Amino acid sequence: MNKIAFAAAALAIGTVSASAADMAARYTKAPVAVAAVYSWTGFYIGADVGYGWGRSTGTGTNAAGFFPTPYSVDPSGVIGGGFVGYNWQVSNVVLGIEADWQASDLNASGNFANNIGTLYTIGTNVKDYGSVRGRLGLAFDRWMVFGTAGWAWGSWDTSYGFAGGGAPFVTMRVNSSDGWTAGAGVEYAFTNNFLGRIEYRYTDLGRASFVNIPTNSAELGNRVTINDVRLGIAYKF
């Protein structure tokens, strides 16, 4: 009888233990889901607005290159435009290519004297500029810091006139110049499709010159550079 009682007790204990283990397994907490890391890969298109300030330097002369008038003005104003690009993300490194165009209203003028004391009014108006660039970024989930550099072009007018003499006697119109640009910025993905950014850029539009026989005037080399800060928003497909 003792052996039968002992066996019955062991069986009962085993049954209770199995039931307890089964209940424990049944009520085990589900594993916590891990949020997916954001992917920057894809096409995007966007618009931006900002403020630019630059420098226009050069030397005006007569048509023979005499009586130089060196000058430097600092055009500034509002810019706005659009951009389009594509990103490839590998691990947390983001490679990309982007093109942009900015309409601008950067203006400045001043009075400058040549080496015999004749006073001229010289001014520059930057009308638009754009670029095609590579981009290199470092992603931290929905945040990305990036650098960018590439080819730039732009158009501007520089006018030359006698101080107090009314309209300029000649205006150099540069319709397309070759230069370069570089900058850096920060982007944030508000949703899977909408991106925001802030960016600083430096752009060198190169030099332009002219000789105008009818007005007996010339430019030895007008160089235009621009700094700007932009806020942008984009849609990623």
DSSP the chain: -HHHHHHHHHHHHHHHHHHHHHHHHHTPPPPPPPPPPP---EEEEEEEEEEEEEEEEEEEE-TTS-S-EEEEE--EEEEEEEEEEEEEEETTEEEEEEEEEEEEEEEEEEEEE-TT--EEEEEEEEEEEEEEEEEEEEEETTEEEEEEEEEEEEEEEEEEEETTSSS-SEEEEEEEEEEEEEEEEEEEESSSSEEEEEEEEEEEEEEEEEEETTTTEEEEEEEEEEEEEEEEEEEE-
Residues comprising the chain, all counted:
237
In order along its 237 residues, the chain shows pLDDT tens digits of 344 444 444 434 444 344 444 444 454 565 555 567 899 999 999 999 999 999 999 999 999 999 999 999 999 999 999 999 999 999 999 999 999 999 999 999 999 999 999 999 999 999 999 999 999 999 999 999 999 999 999 999 999 999 988 899 999 999 989 999 999 999 999 999 999 999 999 999 999 999 999 999 999 999 999 999 999 999 999
What pLDDT, on the 0 to 100 scale, is given for residue 29?
60
- Quote the pLDDT of residue 32: 55
CA pair distance 229, 155, nearest whole angstrom: 19
For residues 62 and 221, is the Cβ–Cβ distance under 8 A?
Answer: no
What was the pLDDT predicted at 28?
52
Structure tokens at 35: 């949020």
Q: What local confidence, expressed as pLDDT, does residue 142 receive?
A: 97
d(CA 174, CA 122): 15
Instruction: Output the pLDDT for position 176.
Output: 86
Best CA proximity match to 169, nearest among 207, 113, 216, 219: 216
For residue 99, what pLDDT is reported?
A: 98
Q: Which residues of 49-70 are buried (b: 16+ CB within 10 A; e: fewer)?
A: ebbbebbbbbbbbbeeeeeebe
The answer to whether domain 42-236 has CATH 2.40.10.10 is: no
Nearest to 176 by CA among 130, 136, 210, 219: 130
Radius of gyration of the chain measured on its C-alpha atoms? 34
